[in-house]
Structure 1
Amino acid sequence: MKKWFGSLLFATMIAGGLSGCSSEEDSVVMAPVPDVQSQFQPETDWSASVGHGVEHYFSRLRPHSAYGKIFVASRDGIVKALDPTTGKTLWEKDLGDEEQTFLSGGISTGLNQLYIGSETGILYAMDAETGELKWKQDVSGEILAAPVTESDLVIIHTSEGNLIALEQKTGKQQWTISTEVPNLTLRGDSTPVTVSGGIFWGTANGRLAAAIASSGQMIWQQSIGTPKGATEIDRLIDVDSSPLVIGSTLYTVGYNGKLVAIDLRSGKPLWKRNYSSATNIATDGGKIFVVTDQDYLTAVDARSGTEIWTNRQLENRLVTEPVIIHNYVVVGDSEGYLYWIDRNTGEFVSEQHVSSSGFAVAPIVLSDGGYLVMTRDGDVKKLTINQ
């Protein structure tokens, strides 16, 4: 059973009204919480909150750390800047005061501004010091992925398959690249990455695309997945994962596709392996960590694609993307557990229950060695490890 069927417990992951198509035969069995003898427990440095969080909706509103602040947002339009040492609110802005807004794509920063997108197709630019709204731009399609900044541009990827570049200072549109969007897609879009003046992103038609960031000129496209099967559901091949770059090699993974290593200069594949995922991948420099569509956590060698280990104990627990914290692989799940996994063996090292509302997004690492979690109901906690 595919991970997105299980995700219907929290959100409509499929565009096109599939919420009623799952039968008893399609039901998902969530693995029990693993019995882990925790080797350490976190200490809570401070707690805060932001609106009602994202509740049960699909969202990638992950907190963001920049300019000596932590920025957090809720789906209903509350945006806050927090002091990273105390959790004190430095400023707060309600974007929903003037209009109904469903924040969904963000958060990112550039030129001392904060950028955040919405399901209604609006990109907001806010002053990072004061929270003042500098400008907003209406674009076609939902903004579900975080914007990315490059030079004086802020670039967004919309649900209609458009990659759009706007001036950071004014919001004026500079260029657009359009890619095909099939009739049926996963809910979610790939967050682009920029490297040496190039921009790379996954598309809903199963490709990895590359363009020149300053001009929007397409350089190449590489197929990550090929549609197979008799039904539209079987033939889903979205590449929703954000590309990951190590040196001159780019890595990405597709749903019903493959985990692929690609040479950045030529766009040619170096290796391909059969893994299906719509979740961002992580690396420790030598290994690539993937959460598959069944919520298996897998490590592969970055040079060869050889599988090193697979942990299947979190099957169908609606696991977040993996992150590296204190040399451990860390994921959260839909019931609010954080799992710490040995990156060399795949064995559990520790486990903590943080919140019954669960996690929609992974923790973020802070510069002082702590880490930040945000739960679905809007609780924000800064934690440190007591080892």
Structure 2
Amino acid sequence: MINSRQMRLLIWSLALSAMSGCSWFGGDDEPEEIKPNPLPGFNQEVRLEVLWNQKIGGGSGDRAIRLRPAIFAGRVFAASADGKIKALTTDKGRIIWEAEVKDFYTKEELSFGFSKDLDVITGGVGAGGDLVVVGTGSGEILALNQSDGSLAWKSRVASEVLSQPQIDD
């Protein structure tokens, strides 16, 4: 049988061992910050310069959507998250045509399929043959004619398009 002295000793031992896991007995030291290693130096072998730049449209706010352009047949096809698509010359970035995805929908379709809080284009740009294709946040693929940006066709898919659509010649 345990007497009261042994019981108190046991309780104090358990209490002290439980508190030893707390920071009360430790110092007020903050954990050491882990910093990345410095980048090693390198010799620049190629000098890069910007030949041209072109604003396509509005971005995606604080969402990290990066839409990749497509380069095909001497043209750059680029899109923005807010639904603008442009065809540009590769040499000087001159605008050949511009299109707005929302122009290819009726008012009813716009109210049902698009929200001001969602990105219009989510899947980037693909190009091939005589078409430029984009994927939308409302779950559609739109194909535009490369020559003038007019709508060739659109097709519903199962969900939001998250990858760059591809065209097989």
Question: Of residues 63, 69, 77 in structure 1, which corresponds to 2:69?
Answer: 63
**What's the CA shift for 1:53?**
3.3
**What's the CA shift for 1:106?**
2.8
* Cα deviation 1:111-159 (Å, max 9, x = unaligned): 30011101210110000110111121122211101122335xxxxxxxx
Which entry has the higher C-alpha Rg, 1 or 2? Answer: 2
Q: Distance between the aligned counterparts of 2:37 and 2:98, measured in 1?
A: 39
How many residues are paired up?
Answer: 123
Q: Which runs of 5+ in 1 are unaligned?
A: 1-28, 152-387
Q: Distance between the aligned counterparts of 1:146 and 1:93, measured in 2?
A: 18
2:134 counterpart of 1:112: no
User: What is the TM-score with the length of structure 1 in the denominator?
Assistant: 0.29
**What's the CA shift for 1:30?**
7.8
Larger helix share, 1 or 2: 2
SS for the counterpart of 2:162 is coil
2:69 counterpart of 1:51: no
Q: Distance between the aligned counterparts of 2:35 and 2:168, measured in 1?
A: 41
Contact 1:50 / 1:79 at 8 angstroms: preserved in 2? yes
Q: Distance between the aligned counterparts of 1:88 and 1:106, measured in 2?
A: 20
Q: Distance between the aligned counterparts of 1:89 and 1:45, measured in 2?
A: 15
Q: Distance between the aligned counterparts of 2:41 and 2:78, measured in 1?
A: 31
Larger strand share, 1 or 2: 1
Residues 32 and 103 (structure 1), Cα distance of their counterparts in 2 relative to 1, 3 Å cut: farther
State the partner residue of 2:39.
Answer: 34
State the partner residue of 1:79.
Answer: 85
* Cα deviation 1:327-370 (Å, max 9, x = unaligned): xxxxxxxxxxxxxxxxxxxxxxxxxxxxxxxxxxxxxxxxxxxx
Contact 1:60 / 1:144 at 8 angstroms: preserved in 2? no
Query: What amino acid is the match of 1:107?
Result: V
Contact 1:118 / 1:143 at 8 angstroms: preserved in 2? yes
Contact 2:72 / 2:128 at 8 angstroms: preserved in 1? no
Question: Of residues 121, 134, 137 in structure 1, which corresponds to 2:139?
Answer: 121
Q: How does 1:162-311 map to 2 (within 5 A)?
A: none
SS for the counterpart of 2:49 is strand
Percent sequence identity over aligned pairs: 29
Q: Distance between the aligned counterparts of 1:79 and 1:139, measured in 2?
A: 20
Contact 1:80 / 1:92 at 8 angstroms: preserved in 2? yes
Residues 33 and 89 (structure 1), Cα distance of their counterparts in 2 relative to 1, 3 Å cut: farther
Q: Which runs of 5+ in 2 are unaligned?
A: 1-33
State the partner residue of 1:146.
Answer: 164
> What RMSD over aligned residues (CA atoms) do the two structures have, in Å?
2.4
Contact 1:112 / 1:127 at 8 angstroms: preserved in 2? yes
Query: What amino acid is the match of 2:95?
Result: T
Q: Distance between the aligned counterparts of 1:61 and 1:103, measured in 2?
A: 8
Residues 32 and 85 (structure 1), Cα distance of their counterparts in 2 relative to 1, 3 Å cut: farther
**What's the CA shift for 1:54?**
3.8
Query: What amino acid is the match of 1:150?
Result: D
